[in-house]
Structure 1
């Protein structure tokens, strides 16, 4: 049910309807969602030289994943004040709302917002919350924050980030996670920080199984005991692990366009999201760092539908899975689920 056969392909009308569906996004990096024009404008205001960050056409320039991380961090150099982050919050939510996103969770790092200092972090957080509240009022989009440590900064620097998360946990900061270079260190090295966040009542996610193989996904489940995994797609290489994900209900925050752009898979047709779903794993769809990967949530929905012949029923099911896996409070979840029914 929900998948067309070759005799009944999706029509342009079907695809237009899928593009217009209300959406829920769980895997979005705050700085990584910054429109290039926004970053260039800030750089001009502050007289910051960002040579090498952009291509001639104005898009972000990077060669591979490691270089992408360097460009990402270089672009954040213009984001220096709480007001900068408030403006960024407004800009990214405008783009999300244009793509039909009604709820999203964004990864925010105290390392970029005050250098891990709790007092400075509170100022940045207040500015982002105010901007998010205005966007919810004016655009009808709800934002919540997931504090992240940066893996390639090491376990010691993860602890101040976890403390910032624990001290500001509540209705808006709802989770803790980790991004960065998956090939650096081991997930178990960060267990202390994840335990600190868990004790503060935060829900947990981490990037795993994007670059390293299925053992990394297993470590996320067993060593960090997360409820969600960012990417996680290489779990498909170990079907026993796939069964474990299905049995435990661990949710994958899948970013198909990102995986293809960075070369994890050569094209969408070879991406394992469909097989993971068919084997009972809970999958969701997100953009990761949309301007870097030349994608939007509308585009992700349409290209998935075209590639796997998923109709609107399948896409609605995936969106409901995301809403049910969101780290928000139950009242917010009920509101989002109700909006998805309209």
Structure 2
């Protein structure tokens, strides 16, 4: 009987994890009690909330829950705790490199302003990386729901802190609002400043959203990107350009993008030659972390251990990890396979 390798011990990179969404449920409860924040049963019940974001009302509910959770992060020590616990969870799941995504404007009102907020986050990331051994960097993300000028401000700030731990620039929230091209100047600032472009696309909106990320924003990675399978030309563009999709299977099902884990088009992306980096997105709300995404690929899409190892390699190749980290982790992946 063939040995089943432990996917938690498969070395990998984690490229799609949102800041507040990385919080442990127990930590959220403690912080809510600390600050007297009333949480709805959906966040107190111990189980992931029932979500469906394919309509406006569902997305609003998802955002409301996320905003409530974020309101419990008020002091630098809360930020430090979140970052350390996110790193501990990632290490437990075999991660060797984590790029955590954050919009610092969301935390600025409680942390003394935009620059202090980003500096507190980056300090927590550097300290945690040093103490846990996990390679860890930050991807600053603008909000599609805000004015493109705000995105330009963030892009300039992200470039300014490139040498202190910022490696990329993203664009999150409801991709059905506005156009990617509205944010093209912000992404030009980020790319010219040496940052990796990683906007969300192809989750709530279709393949046109992915195409716009490529053509208008110069994406080196696409957050989600799964809806690209609905247009062969877009799929080919991703494959030929070697642009990785940060695929989050559990999130796709939780938000109603797909009904079942087996409906997430992992195999179609794989067969088309599109690189993938599996991610947990928002474990707080979706109930599963990094290794569980690889379990979905194994259980629901029949990925072999050799294919899962290649997915782990693809996550590293798509990352901003320095060459020594990549090389060391590639050797560890080979060792996992050799077993």
5 Å-filtered alignment, 1:1-342, equals: 13-14=3-4, 16-51=5-40, 54-57=43-46, 59-60=48-49, 62=51, 64-114=58-108, 120-170=113-163, 172-342=165-335
State the secondary structure of the residue aligned to 1:328.
coil
* Gaps in structure 1 of 5+ consecutive residues: 1-9
The offset of 1:58, in angstroms, is: 5.8
Separation in 2 of the partners of 1:57 and 1:85? 22
Contact map agreement 1:19 1:302 (CA 8 A) in 2 = no
Separation in 1 of the partners of 2:317 and 2:164? 16
Contact map agreement 1:39 1:75 (CA 8 A) in 2 = yes
Aligned to 2:55: none
State the secondary structure of the residue aligned to 2:284.
coil
The offset of 1:270, in angstroms, is: 1.7
Contact map agreement 1:171 1:329 (CA 8 A) in 2 = no
TM-superposition CA deviations, 1:255-298 (whole Å, max 9, x none): 01110111111112121111111111111211111121111222
State the secondary structure of the residue aligned to 2:101.
strand
* 215-224 or 59-68, which deviates more: 59-68
Separation in 2 of the partners of 1:269 and 1:173? 35
Cα distance change of structure 1 residues 256 and 82 upon mapping to structure 2, 3 Å threshold = same
Contact map agreement 1:232 1:254 (CA 8 A) in 2 = yes
Q: CA RMSD in A?
A: 2.2
TM-superposition CA deviations, 1:158-210 (whole Å, max 9, x none): 22222221221125100001111111111100111111111211110110000
State the secondary structure of the residue aligned to 2:222.
strand
Separation in 2 of the partners of 1:300 and 1:38? 23
Separation in 1 of the partners of 2:265 and 2:59? 20
Query: In the comparison of the two structures, how many residue pairs are matched?
Result: 330
Aligned to 1:5: none
Contact map agreement 1:107 1:145 (CA 8 A) in 2 = yes
* Gaps in structure 2 of 5+ consecutive residues: 53-57
Cα distance change of structure 1 residues 76 and 140 upon mapping to structure 2, 3 Å threshold = same
TM-score, length basis structure 1: 0.89
Cα distance change of structure 1 residues 335 and 87 upon mapping to structure 2, 3 Å threshold = same
Which has the larger helix fraction?
2
